[in-house]
Amino acid sequence: MKKIPLHIRIFIGMLLGIILGILSIVFHLGPFVTDWIKPFGTIFINLLKLIAIPLILVSLISGVSNLKDMSKLSRIGGKTLSLYLITTVIAIVVGLIAVNSIKPGNFLSKEKQMELSAKYANDANLRVTDAQKLKESGPLQVIVDIVPDNIFGSMSNNRNMLQVIFFSILFGIALIMAPEQKGIPVKNFFDGVNEVILKIVDIVMHYAPVGVFALLGALIVDFAGDDPKQALELFSALGIYAITVLLSLALMVLVIYPLIMRMFTHIKYKQFTKAILPAQIMAFSTSSSAATLPVTMECAEKNLGIKEEITSFVLPLGATVNMDGTSIHQAVTAVFIAQAFGHDLTIVDQLMIILTATLSSIGAAAVPSAGLITLVIVLGAIGVSPEGLALIIAIDRPLDMCRTIVNITGDAVVASIVATTENGFQKIEPVN
Ligand code: ASP
């Protein structure tokens, strides 16, 4: 019998998880799912997080040193960062156009607004305190925070990806500059470790269908809580807002990316989507670009045929700094909260949103709900009270799952463009 391809098995896991979630709500099996199914999802997330830091460290060191000379590095680096910046700004503009045309904030009744603010005020305050710490430390603190004072300290926390990236690029550059006979053994060592880590990814991926099944089943149970009716009510109150976010995300994936791919690459968008589908499912199930990174890299190399020399540089960087989905979400949510509070936004405010949403999506860690914390900075920039977060916190998780899909899709689009301009494709078996 022919083996079912992994991406189909992951897809089946996802569907079964959703069915399990719904059935457990209907038959009141929530506690069973939480006790006996959810842990398998947590194990899967832990496995993915476990390899995130070693993968970023080793693949960037080996990726940068593979570029062999500084001029190639600065060319590819410049191209990658510019593309990341341009796509992020496009994403924010898409979000702003959608939210200003639909005006979801005007659909939220005053009573619902008060009810939500009161109910989620505590959660919102926690996020605000986190973000306040970020803000109080002066305008250049964001840059200071990129430079670690102890690399082992940075590697001990998945939220410090930017610091790990900084160290890896520095190490890779120094490796290119080191005398050849001394540098080669070090490079071989990192290339070898890179191979080993990719094998670990392969092993973990065999477990992915089970992991995705458990994660989604448990997520649905958690979301519905003790009173699924209330969850539905919440959804309908915030429905127009959620639709605005989803519509903007869909516009990015179904219109903007295909256009960009068509203009700058020879890859058919249908083929592209098929190739990165496993990564998209993983992003949806884990809500974390960092946890999805190993799969994004595997899809880009094996299914799209992009050379490792490109993926190992572009994708680890993108997982952390390029978040088109998060920036769309920041734009829509900031304007939504302003509308709900009856706060008129000027053109200058909208420009401030473009600027701050770009910066905060770069600064957001590639983990679940990171975008909520940095959203406080965008709200602050346009003079809207950060307590407004209380309005949307309850339905953030499903939106986070969807924006993470866009985050990793954007990374793969940029990797495809860089590969096209750098002759960065190898021959591959077509994906089926
Ligand atoms: N969950 C997102 C990611 O990891 C970040 C966010 O928007 O919260 O890509």
Does residue 1 fall inside a structural domain? no
Does residue 430 fall inside a structural domain? no
Residue 306 DSSP symbol: B
Does residue 431 fall inside a structural domain? no
Provide the domain count of the chain.
1
Residue minimizing CA distance to atom 6 of ligand 1: 371
Q: Let me know: does 339 contact 106? Beta carbons within 8 Å.
A: yes
Quick one: CA dihedral 211, 212, 214, 219, positive or negative?
Answer: positive
Does residue 15 fall inside a structural domain? yes
Does residue 65 fall inside a structural domain? yes
Q: For residue 325, which atom of ligand 1 is closest to its CA?
A: 7
What are the DSSP calls for 23-43, one per residue? HHHHTT-HHHIIIIIHHHHHH
Q: How far is the CA of 107 from the centre of ligand 1 (A)?
A: 27
Phi-psi sector, 305: left (phi>0), alpha (psi -120 to 50), beta: left
Does residue 168 fall inside a structural domain? yes
What's the CA gap between 79 and 417, in Å, rounded? 9
pLDDT tens digits, one per residue of 89-115:
999 999 999 999 999 988 877 777 777
Q: How far is the CA of 405 from the centre of ligand 1 (A)?
A: 9
* CATH at residue 52: 1.10.3860
Tens-binned pLDDT, residue by residue, of the chain (432 aa)? 467 887 789 889 989 999 999 899 889 888 999 999 999 999 998 998 888 889 889 988 988 888 777 888 889 999 999 999 999 999 999 999 999 999 998 887 777 777 777 766 666 766 666 666 666 667 677 788 889 999 999 999 877 878 988 999 999 999 999 998 999 999 999 989 988 988 898 898 889 899 999 998 998 888 777 677 767 776 777 889 999 999 999 999 999 999 999 999 999 999 999 999 999 999 999 999 999 999 999 999 999 999 998 999 999 999 988 999 999 999 999 999 998 888 889 999 999 999 999 988 887 888 888 888 788 888 888 888 888 888 888 788 889 999 999 999 999 999 999 999 999 898 765 454
Q: Let me know: does 411 contact 322? Beta carbons within 8 Å.
A: yes
Mutation probe of ligand 1 site: the residue of 288, 372, 406 with most atoms within 8 A of C-beta: 288
The verdict on the CB of residue 407 being under 6 Å from ligand 1 is yes
Does residue 195 fall inside a structural domain? yes
The verdict on the CB of residue 364 being under 6 Å from ligand 1 is yes
Does residue 328 fall inside a structural domain? yes
Domain housing 143: 6-421
Q: Let me know: does 404 contact 284? Beta carbons within 8 Å.
A: yes
Cβ neighbors of 359 (< 8 A, separation 6 or more) are 142, 377
Q: For residue 319, which atom of ligand 1 is closest to its CA?
A: 9
